[in-house]
A and B are shown apart, each in its own frame.
Chain A
């Protein structure tokens, strides 16, 4: 069974204080690893897809990386508007369902 574990569960940063969120996975035949942002009471908002180890993608203050066992979401100089829950999900094998982790709740303070 596919498993996705995210850490930490919660993270509090000062504005400008860079950090990384971790997503470790155990799957049979990774096809894609997806990062989403979720604001309270809203649906997941797509950020990145990573397909193979060594791949990196960037968008504004966010950078996602992938190894054979885990992915990191690096946040550089965060701002209060980056506060949200960041979700990691994987697709594996022949199916197209996404298996999600429990998320990291990020709060960025002034």
Chain B
């Protein structure tokens, strides 16, 4: 069964450093998403991406964040200068189309720890 994969599973970084989180969405899916979950809190939407453009983003997704589809299979989230409060689980998701009724399938997550 096709699944979303994410690497690394755990990333530890120093405050102020740049990190890149990687995702491989399900192969025939066209819409990609990033969510985050701070420990003990709800899953929060960050950004959606289609056709090499951001289609929607939340207030959390400020200038420190960027997304990219560098090739035909990967989807990345970059945090330019990490802060302590960026520590969270980051989930990538994909859907075959971007309709609000379409199911989003999630990856296993990357745990980001900022020291």
Contact = CB atoms under 8 A, between A and B. Distances in A.
Interface in A22-57: 31-32, 34, 36, 41-46, 49, 51
Interface stretch (B13-21, B40-48, B65-73, B77-85): B40-48
B98 A96 contact: yes
A41 B109 CA distance: 8
A98 B45 contact: yes
A61 to B, nearest CB: 21
A94 B103 CA distance: 15
Q: In the complex, which range does the number of interface residues on chain B fall in?
A: 20 to 34
A43 B108 contact: yes
Contacts of B108: 42-43
Interface in B27-55: 31, 33, 35, 41-45, 48, 55
Contacts of A102: 41-42
Interface in B55-103: 55-56, 58, 89, 91, 95, 98-103
A73 interface: no
Contact of A32 (B91, B101, B109): B101
B107 interface: yes
Interface in A75-95: 87, 89, 91-95
A31 B101 contact: yes
B58 A97 contact: yes
Interface of A: 31-32, 34, 36, 41-46, 49, 51, 87, 89, 91-103
Interface of B: 4, 6, 31, 33, 35, 41-45, 48, 55-56, 58, 89, 91, 95, 98-109, 111
Among all A-B residue pairs, the 7 with the closest Cβ atoms? A31-B100, A43-B106, A91-B100, A97-B45, A100-B43, A32-B101, A44-B106
